[in-house]
Structure 1
Amino acid sequence: MSDLILFNKPFNVLCQFTDESEQAETRETLASYIDHKGFYAAGRLDRDSEGLLLLTNDGKLQHKISDPEHKMPKTYWAQVEGDVTKEAIKQLQTGVKLKDGMTRPAQCKKISQPMRLWERNSPIRQRQNIPTSWVELTITEGKNRQVRRMTAAVGFPTLRLIRARIGKWKLGNLQSGECELLHDQ
């Protein structure tokens, strides 16, 4: 029996249950939020990113979700610095050259601020004369910090990044720090 936990990972939480680093006393981990035993994260989400993280008790399902070979689409909402242009959107849609190579084409569109957005603990930096805008970006690969590097490469650095969807699983109405257990996935 495969069970899956949908978790809305808060900002500044490590995507692991233990922290062996020197900063362990000051850094939160998944153990602060998930009390189900035998579950492991299927993929990663950087400490400074928020949103959907999947955890499972099934190794095969974990592999299917996290292995880049399966090209499972992941959708992100990125708040970027500046008023994102049509040209930047087009570049993101066709692929962006990064130091480690070209990205695959992404689905990308400018969106309004997501409706069910929660306050972030440690607000983003605001600059008085520079607006921000939001994009929704769906990728099928998982290069390190890829979305942040992609938006920066087209001239619009990411200020806040929220993963909204992985494959068929959605963030839904989960608020920051909340989780939902699904049976028989």
Structure 2
Amino acid sequence: MLIRFNKPYGVLSQFTPEGRWRGLKDHIDLPGVYVAGRLDADSEGLLLLTDDGQLQAQIADPRFKMEKTYLVQVEGVAHENALAQMAQGVMLKDGMTRPARARAVAPPAVWDRVPPIRVRLNKPTCWLEMVIREGRNRQVRRMTAAVGLPTLRLIRTAIGPYILGELPVGSWAEAP
């Protein structure tokens, strides 16, 4: 069994809550399923869960280099130079990232985040679509910051062939 879950902001990629963050048990009541990969509490979107250990490893293990696609709202305007830097790889404290596919996109029709992102009237924002093949800790956020575009909102829309689609926030469905 493979479950797609549209993880809301403020929910951990684990069943038990911790500190101010809620756990998956508030949304998913299925015994024997485990998270395949992680998504930070302050990130939203597609999280996969499975009862198949081999599939879990294939999805989560960086050796398989499964693509992950994100919609990223950043502070600032994404100029070609910033997009080109991400396409070549970005130097982070833990080394050079693999090249990412990054492009500016029109603001997507997505659910309202609770709580909403901070808005600064004198700073424009824009949306990017980013595709990475690694899974370093907070990698997309660190990459956008490194090119001068701090992330305000991060929504994962796909992991390999598995897509979020129209799944409502906080809901889950069995993957086809």
User: Is 1:181 aligned to residue 171 of structure 2?
Assistant: no
Counterpart for residue 70 of structure 2? 76
Q: What SS does structure 1 have at the residue aligned with 2:59?
A: helix
What RMSD, in angstroms, separates the aligned Cα atoms of the two structures? 1.0
CA contact (8 A) 2:162 2:175 kept: no
Q: What SS does structure 2 have at the residue aligned with 1:121?
A: coil
Q: Deviations over 1:120-173 (max 9, x none)?
A: 010000001111000000000011000000000000000000000000000100
* Structure 2: segments with no counterpart, 5+ residues: none
User: Is 1:134 aligned to residue 132 of structure 2?
Assistant: no
User: Is 1:59 aligned to residue 57 of structure 2?
Assistant: no
TM-score of the two chains, using structure 1 as the length reference? 0.93
User: Is 1:16 aligned to residue 14 of structure 2?
Assistant: yes
Distance 1:175 1:92 in 2: 30
Q: What SS does structure 2 have at the residue aligned with 1:128?
A: coil
Aligned match for 1:96, one of 82, 90, 115:
90
Residue 27 of structure 1 deviates from its aligned partner by 2.8
Distance 1:156 1:107 in 2: 15
Note the 1:19-168 alignment, pairs <5 A. Answer: 19=17, 21=18, 23=19, 26-115=20-109, 117-168=110-161
Residue 96 of structure 1 deviates from its aligned partner by 0.2
CA contact (8 A) 2:21 2:41 kept: no
Runs of 4+ displaced beyond 4 Å = none
Aligned residues: 176
Q: Percent identity?
A: 56
Q: Deviations over 1:21-63 (max 9, x none)?
A: 4x2xx43110000011100000100000000000000000000
* Structure 1: segments with no counterpart, 5+ residues: none
Distance 1:4 1:139 in 2: 22
Q: What SS does structure 1 have at the residue aligned with 2:78?
A: coil
Distance 1:69 1:9 in 2: 25
Distance 1:18 1:77 in 2: 27
Letter in 2 for 1:10: P
